[in-house]
Amino acid sequence: MKKFFTISIILLFTHLTYMQSCKYKLLVGTYTNTGKSEGIYSYEIDMKKGDFIQKSITKNIVNPSFLALTPDKKFVYAVCENDKGSAAKSFSFNKKIAQLTPINTSLTKSGGPCNILATEKNVFTANYGGGSVSVFGRNNDGSITEAKQLIRHSGGSINKERQNEAHVHQVILSKDKKYIIANDLGTDNVTVYNYYPNADTEILVPFDTLQVKLGSGPRHATFSKNGEKLYLVQEIDGTVSVLGFDKGKLSLIQETSLVKKENIINRAADIHLSPDEKFLYVTNRGNANDITCFSVAKDGELTFIQQISTMGDGPRNFAITPDGKFVFVAHQFTDNIVVFERNKKTGMLTDTGKRMNVGSPVCLIFY
């Protein structure tokens, strides 16, 4: 009887743990200029019940397309893509009630911010339109200073339609926090900057640049947990590159591709490793509208596993739940988020049939 009781308790605990692990909290950045969205959305999600409960909408922001959440989850930063003056905006964040409270706004002094990064001392925006990186100071109360530094890239590459000038698409912090990496779609360059967080003006100083495949258009990248590999997706031709990273120096290890079918128009978008780093996932827009899974070997090299439709148009961004069970894919043009279940052993994805209706979703962050 005692043994039966113990087993029952274990099974109940396991069931409750599973139920709890299928509950998630999600922030969604959007484009408001479509008239289909009002700002930044927060959701509480119960995958067992299939409930997607909207907890809050933070309004009166122009195109908060990309978001950054600080590690302590106390502050959120957003880009504001605005023809009348693009900016970075800061918010305090009460995660218990999913409430964002505006703090202040600072102009990027460069057009088309499309990506934002927050560190302990600074906030950075990658400015596609201006081909630049804006650097702001970050105060203890979460507010940001005026831009302390504006770094403009120059040049172009061989694709005259997309690469007639610089287009910085992402800024990312190295795992040792000593470097900031900027991906430039317009020049086919991945540039490493020495990062001096306590400096007043020269916060970023150029250190190393790797030119990737000409005409490929580097867009987004993600680091391995040990910081020794950088996985890069190139928007224009669908190349996925495995880069080595050693004391700020980049090296090419492997190139593979998202293109598995004929007559594909590439708009490769986002890239993430699974929590156990055994698999890598990459989305492609254009007329592909798919997500590709690669297995990751111990040396970091990739092997193709699966490519499936994302069941929507414009999979701009996606996020893997912290427990690795599900992949949420945001579709900018069909105004929804499609949920896939992930097989942790094989890496393969299966459509759950579950959908979240959100206007012009662009950026997803689980918190």
d(Cα 291, Cα 308) in Å, to the nearest integer?
6
Percent pLDDT > 70 in the chain is 94
pLDDT reading at 234 higher than 60: yes
What confidence tier does 2 reach under pLDDT thresholds 50, 70, 90? low
pLDDT tens for each residue of 310-328:
999 999 999 999 999 999 9
Instruction: Note the helical H segments in the chain.
Output: 2-21
What confidence tier does 75 reach under pLDDT thresholds 50, 70, 90? very high
Long-range contacts of the stretch 82-89 (C-beta < 8 A, 24+): 86/110, 86/111, 86/112, 86/113, 86/127, 86/129, 87/113, 88/113, 88/116, 88/123, 88/125, 88/134, 88/136, 88/144, 89/61, 89/64
Structural domains in the chain, sorted by start? 23-366 (2.130.10.10)
Query: What average pLDDT does the segment 213-238 reach?
Result: 98
Query: What average pLDDT does the segment 12-32 reach?
Result: 74
Query: What average pLDDT does the segment 103-129 reach?
Result: 98
pLDDT reading at 305 higher than 60: yes
What confidence tier does 59 reach under pLDDT thresholds 50, 70, 90? very high
Let me know: does 94 contact 56? Beta carbons within 8 Å.
Answer: no
Q: What is the pLDDT of residue 84?
A: 86
pLDDT tens for each residue of 215-227:
999 999 999 999 9
Q: What is the pLDDT of residue 16?
A: 43
d(Cα 162, Cα 164) in Å, to the nearest integer?
6
Percent pLDDT > 90 in the chain is 93
pLDDT tens for each residue of 240-299:
999 999 999 999 999 999 999 999 999 999 999 999 999 999 999 999 999 999 999 999
pLDDT reading at 140 higher than 90: yes
Q: What is the pLDDT of residue 199?
A: 97
